[in-house]
Structure 1
Amino acid sequence: MTEETTILGVDFSGAKADKNTWVTRGVLSGSILTLEYCQPTPRAGLADLLASLPPGTVAALDFPFSVPEVFAGRWLSGAKTMPQLWEAAAVMAFEKFMSLRDSFVAEHGEPFRRGDLYFPE
């Protein structure tokens, strides 16, 4: 019997609309990958989806690990590296971070990466 592995790919879009998180799921059996679905998924249900996956699942999550330099300066003015910001985020209440983010976006708009401009949604 050939062992099967569930494969999941998640693409977090930079767009504001929640429908822009895409999930693709497939099953690898031997050397054959069978696509089960590719669909937009609400971010609110993503943690439950990930938690429900069978043991041995391979999941690839595509999201940036950085923030715009202007936002970093407003958040933690002395930070020189992303690990410094990650440490600050680890001890910060989620609500406080979202408030900081929302006030930044209200003032500056939502910055995009150069690649986001090539494929606008």
Structure 2
Amino acid sequence: MEDSIKILGVDFSGAAPDNNTWVAQGWLSGAGLELEVCHKLGRGELADELESSPAGTVASLDFPFSVPKEFAGYWMPEARSMPKLWNAAAQMDYPAFLALRDSFVAVHGESKRLC
């Protein structure tokens, strides 16, 4: 669409299957926002969609900024807020965080949201 901006709204689901990510796609122009499609994608398909989108695309990603309470207690029992955990995570490299997660899962299993 000429003289328009691609808009993506992405809603990640906590469900186990890899096809529960909802994507709404539309185009913003002087006439307003036109919704083109709303569908489910897997993570790989979503990555491809984001990567192949034209420059200037706006994507809104809705995913949790928290961790399960049980994992937070395992990781930092003294933390009483997510900002403390975010700061701790910022001090870790990704492999160290994955090792922490894996050690939690080995002992407690994988936490799931109840709703």
Q: TM-score range with shorter-chain normalisation?
A: 0.7 to 0.9
- Counterpart for residue 39 of structure 2: 39
Gaps spanning 5+ residues in structure 1: where? 117-121
**13-22 vs 48-57, greater mean Cα deviation:** 48-57
Spell out, residue by residue over 1:16-46, the C-alpha distance to the aligned partner (whole angstroms, 9 max, x if none).
1110111111112223333232222121343
User: CA–CA distance in 1 between the matches of 2:86 and 2:42?
Assistant: 25
User: CA–CA distance in 1 between the matches of 2:46 and 2:100?
Assistant: 23
User: CA–CA distance in 2 between the matches of 1:45 and 1:90?
Assistant: 28
User: CA–CA distance in 2 between the matches of 1:72 and 1:46?
Assistant: 28
Spell out, residue by residue over 1:35-91, the C-alpha distance to the aligned partner (whole angstroms, 9 max, x if none).
232222121343343233222222111111112222111112222321221233234
Higher percent of residues as helix: 1
Residues 1:110 and 2:107 are matched in the alignment = no
User: What's the Cα RMSD here?
Assistant: 2.6
- Counterpart for residue 25 of structure 1: 25
1:111 counterpart letter in structure 2: K
Matched-pair contact (CA < 8 Å) for 2:68–2:111: no
Q: Secondary structure at the match of 2:73?
A: helix
**99-108 vs 6-15, greater mean Cα deviation:** 99-108
- Counterpart for residue 5 of structure 1: 5
Cα distance change of structure 1 residues 45 and 91 upon mapping to structure 2, 3 Å threshold: farther
1:76 counterpart letter in structure 2: M
User: CA–CA distance in 1 between the matches of 2:88 and 2:7?
Assistant: 32
Gaps spanning 5+ residues in structure 2: where? none
Aligned pair count reads 113
TM-score by length of 2: 0.74
User: CA–CA distance in 1 between the matches of 2:47 and 2:88?
Assistant: 23
User: CA–CA distance in 1 between the matches of 2:102 and 2:53?
Assistant: 32
